[in-house]
Chains A and B, each alone.
Chain A
């Protein structure tokens, strides 16, 4: 564009001309905007369909919807099974988040700092649960518990969820540790801080974005976890996804949609809660 500028233009005018969008630029921006809108629609369409299904009074998916009704939400909240499953899913997700976060962050620290032999192999092993079909992980754990004669305890379910959520915490914490300036820890220790104090007041705040990102992933993956839970839930203690699956085999009505909307809202609430208590802004830096 600059090469075609009139020779009578001053340097300032030329520079201004260079900054001014040409005829192609607005077109490119519109294309960029359209692409982003298309991606948003792609991401949000399933949620929109679920919301429509949940609010539609007919007992089947109908488009266009014939009205707006809260009958499926009433049915969902009135169901003891669903309420129990929702509460149990939340409990398991919280416990899983805690265990996966503590174990995953510790493992990542050891891998980044421990000068361990075969670090790459260990990292690959820790990420391997993501590569194995989760249903097989569930079946294998179920068989292990049966062999150990421990039944299907809640801690077994939490352990199963921890196994599949651990890689997220390890990966996100390792990412932060990769750019970690160890001189900050050395400075703290030179100023008299003990290793424990250094960890809690220097290391942990600095790796918090990665740990928190992993924790959020862990919570969401655990809360929505189906294949692993399928084999590990015990009678009377089913998680929400398992309860939904069993329900839809017999009753495919809007209650499923209502339950999904509640799950989505809860996931948002938890993320906002984490933001308020731990600080999500540091996570966003990632």
Chain B
């Protein structure tokens, strides 16, 4: 027993020494590496967006403005911002979808509007990007419409209402509405399609009941894969979720319904308590620059908000790059929606639980 004890003691000591060194290194590293440059704390997406931001767009901004960009890409952003002090918020710039921005604005966590004097590129954006349906500024938008399989012989789909066609029973896809912006926007569209408008919830609930059987998912990425695998044949999806597979010979296509497409805006806002206001405004302005917009748009297939952006022909043909195309965008009244979110969540949960 003593022999075994002796040998294990030696190993343990080595193990503990190595672990302690590793631990001290891990804990100390951020402090050692901390630069003197001012740090702008922002949020941002993962995936392709995160890749290009980290590789090109972010470093170029850091280099030009002699600062450090600290991007939090770990959800959820809003509870973190909520939990942090108003006078010393955890983020300087909040990048998220419009529905969350409205919730943040209602709580006073973000400034409702961006000052055009401090962000000159604001003068060049399409009206939707700074409309009364938007808090801050929308730097990009996707179009929410229908995604379909082209190899199932469905024929030409032109209207949202075709999603209710019984031939798609078991093959249509939607979202868990309480947690997905596309699902929430679609619910409002149901009110427009079958009732008096976006706010006609009764008509929307009735329409949702009739949509069953439907396969529902939490994330848009999951819907993309279900469409690619053929598990769904027709679904609610945003254009970038289809176009990103361009050139891969996938039997899928995006349909912009005749009634219009819903906008899924990428919105930037500045927090009132930010100590980096000047840099925050510079960042918003930078993200609206035509060359930055073009690079990002052609990487992630988002439609740029700056109307001066000239995309390559392939992207220009599909994205919303002209006033005529942009006019088909339907913006959701997220302020109205958020005020009723709990009630809506309960009701749609009942509908789909059944």
The yes or no answer to A94 lying at the interface (CB within 8 A) is yes
Chain B 21-47 interface 0/1 with A at a Cβ cutoff of 8 Å (1 = within): 011001101100000000001000111
Closest to B79 in A: A139
Residue contact B224 to A252, C-beta cutoff 8 Å:
yes
User: With A98-B19, A245-B75 in contact, do A59 and B228 touch (Cβ < 8 Å)?
Assistant: yes
Residue contact B221 to A249, C-beta cutoff 8 Å:
yes
Interface centre among A60, A238, A245, A279 (most CB of B within 10 A): A60
User: With A250-B46, A250-B48 in contact, do A154 and B225 touch (Cβ < 8 Å)?
Assistant: no
User: With A201-B5, A235-B41 in contact, do A277 and B221 touch (Cβ < 8 Å)?
Assistant: no
The yes or no answer to B327 lying at the interface (CB within 8 A) is no
The yes or no answer to A223 lying at the interface (CB within 8 A) is no
Residue contact B70 to A236, C-beta cutoff 8 Å:
yes
Interface centre among A94, A139, A235, A245 (most CB of B within 10 A): A235
Closest to A250 in B: B47
Q: Which of B170-226 contact A (CB under 8 A)?
A: 219-222, 224-226
Chain A 118-147 interface 0/1 with B at a Cβ cutoff of 8 Å (1 = within): 000000000000000000000100110011
The yes or no answer to A61 lying at the interface (CB within 8 A) is yes
Q: Which interface class (under 10, 10 to 19, 20 to 34, 35 or more) fits A? A: 35 or more
Chief secondary structure at chain B's binding surface: helix
* CB neighbours of A88 from chain B (8 A): 26
CA distance A88 to B26 in the complex (A): 8
The yes or no answer to B325 lying at the interface (CB within 8 A) is no
CB distance from B335 to the nearest CB of A (A): 25
Among A94, A155, A201, the residue within 8 A (CB) of B27 is: A155
The yes or no answer to B4 lying at the interface (CB within 8 A) is yes
Closest to A140 in B: B83
Q: Which of B10-26 contact A (CB under 8 A)?
A: 11-12, 15-16, 19-20, 22-23, 26
Chain A 230-244 interface 0/1 with B at a Cβ cutoff of 8 Å (1 = within): 110111111000100
The yes or no answer to A195 lying at the interface (CB within 8 A) is no
Residue contact A252 to B225, C-beta cutoff 8 Å:
yes
Closest to B227 in A: A60
The yes or no answer to A149 lying at the interface (CB within 8 A) is yes
Residue contact B90 to A154, C-beta cutoff 8 Å:
no
CA distance A139 to B78 in the complex (A): 12
Residue contact B46 to A247, C-beta cutoff 8 Å:
yes
The yes or no answer to B71 lying at the interface (CB within 8 A) is yes
Residue contact A248 to B221, C-beta cutoff 8 Å:
yes
* CB neighbours of B75 from chain A (8 A): 230, 245-246, 249
* CB neighbours of B4 from chain A (8 A): 279
User: With A235-B73, A246-B74, A277-B11 in contact, do A252 and B23 touch (Cβ < 8 Å)?
Assistant: no
CB distance from B76 to the nearest CB of A (A): 8
Between A and B, 18 residue pairs with Cβ closer than 8 Å are A58-B228, A58-B229, A142-B83, A147-B85, A153-B30, A231-B80, A231-B83, A235-B71, A236-B70, A245-B74, A245-B75, A248-B221, A249-B220, A250-B220, A250-B221, A277-B8, A278-B11, A279-B8
Q: 3 smallest A-B Cβ distances: which pairs?
A: A250-B47, A60-B225, A60-B229
